[in-house]
Amino acid sequence: MRQSGVASAAPTCFERQRETLPRLVSTADSAPPVAPYDDIAEWYADCIRAGSAIHEVVIPCLRRLAGPVAGLRVLDLGCGEGIASRAFAAAGARVVGVDISRRLLDLARAAERRSPQDIRYVLGDAERLSQLSDGSFEGAVSSLALADVCDLRAAVQALARVLRPGGWFVFAINHPCGPVSAGDGRLAHAARDYFEEGFWRTPNPSSVRGRVGAYHRPLSSYLNALLAAGFVLERSLEPPATEAVARLARGYERVPVVLAMRWRRPEV
C-alpha cells in the first residue's frame, strides 16, 4: 500500500541512501505465520539473556519516557520473554504482559517462577486485547513489538480501550526512517520503498528479522494510527547507537537506530 509521497526533482534522503546501501528482501509472497516467534522462542530468549545490544538502548529509553511507575498497573504489549515486563516490575509497576506467542510466554512464566515479581503473562492478540477490561491500566509499554503487529490501527484502538483516561503509552521500535543491521556488518534498508508498507525479512537467517521478518511502515503511519485512536504525543527520543550497537554494522552511529515515543490518552 502506497501511503504518501511528494513529487520532487531532487532525490529524498531516503532515495539517496537507497542508491548506496544494499536492500533487504521485501517478500510479499511469504506472509508471516500467526505467531512466528513460537518457532524461534528458545533461540530468541537465549539471544536476549546473553545480552542484547538493542535492548540496552531500548529498555532505559522506555523507563526514561515512562517516569516513576511504582504502584501503577502497566501493560507490556508484545512482551515476548518478558524483558520489559521485568524492568518495569523491578521499578515497582504491577505488570501484565500480553503476547501472541505461547512459547515465549512459557519462557516468560518460567523466569517469573525462578524470580517472582508478581508479573502476570496473558496469551492474547494485541489487535484485540479481548482478555483485558476497559480502562484497566494506568500505563502501557511496548518494546520492539509494534513492527511485528500486522494491524497497527487495530492494536492502538485496543490499547486505547484498556488504558484508563489519562493513561500513558511508551513504545520503542527500530527507527522506521533508518537502515537496520543486516546481520553481516552492513546496514541495509528494510523496504524497497520507504513509502510502501509491507512485510519484509532480511536475507540473513541468523538475525531476528531474517527469521521472523517485520512490517515496515512509514513514520506517518505510526503517528496517524495513534492520533486516530485519540492519543496525544508528549515526547519522543531517538537514542543514538551505543558502542555495542555501533559494532553491529558500519555506520550505525550516524543513523537513527531506535524511535521511542510517549503518548497519552486524554482524560475525556
Ligand X SMILES: C[S@@+](CC[C@H](N)C(=O)[O-])C[C@H]1O[C@@H](n2cnc3c(N)ncnc32)[C@H](O)[C@@H]1O
* Region near ligand X per CB under 6 A, out of 5-13, 142-150, 186-194, 249-257: 142-150
Pairing of strands 137-143, 163-174: parallel
Placement of cell 496525544 in the chain: 232
* Region near ligand X per CB under 6 A, out of 96-104, 113-121, 159-167, 235-243: 96-104
Is residue 202 a contact residue for ligand X (CB under 6 A)? no
Q: Which amino acid is at 253?
A: E
Q: At what angle do helices 53-66 and 83-90 cross, to 10 degrees?
A: 40
Half-sphere exposure of 148 toward its Cβ, with a 13 Å CA cutoff? 25
Query: Which residue among 143, 174, 202, 204 contacts ligand X (CB under 6 A)?
Result: 143
The interface with ligand X within residues 44-63 (CB under 6 A) comprises 48
Quick one: cell of 228?
Answer: 486516530
Query: Which residue among 112, 127, 138, 193 contacts ligand X (CB under 6 A)?
Result: 127
Query: Which residue among 87, 140, 149, 156 contacts ligand X (CB under 6 A)?
Result: 149
Q: Which is nearer to ligand X, 26 or 52 (CB)?
A: 52
Contacting residues for 147 by C-beta, under 8 A, at least 6 apart? 173, 174, 176, 214, 215, 216, 217
Is residue 144 a contact residue for ligand X (CB under 6 A)? yes
Quick one: cell of 247?
Answer: 559494532
Q: Where are the beta strands (DSSP E) in 63-186?
A: 73-77, 94-99, 120-123, 137-143, 163-174, 180-181
The interface with ligand X within residues 4-43 (CB under 6 A) comprises 35, 37
Q: Which is nearer to ligand X, 18 or 45 (CB)?
A: 45
Query: Which residue among 53, 140, 145, 229 contacts ligand X (CB under 6 A)?
Result: 145
The interface with ligand X within residues 56-95 (CB under 6 A) comprises 78-80, 83-84
Interface contacts to ligand X, rule CB under 6 A = 35, 37, 48, 78-80, 83-84, 98-101, 104, 125-127, 143-145, 148-149
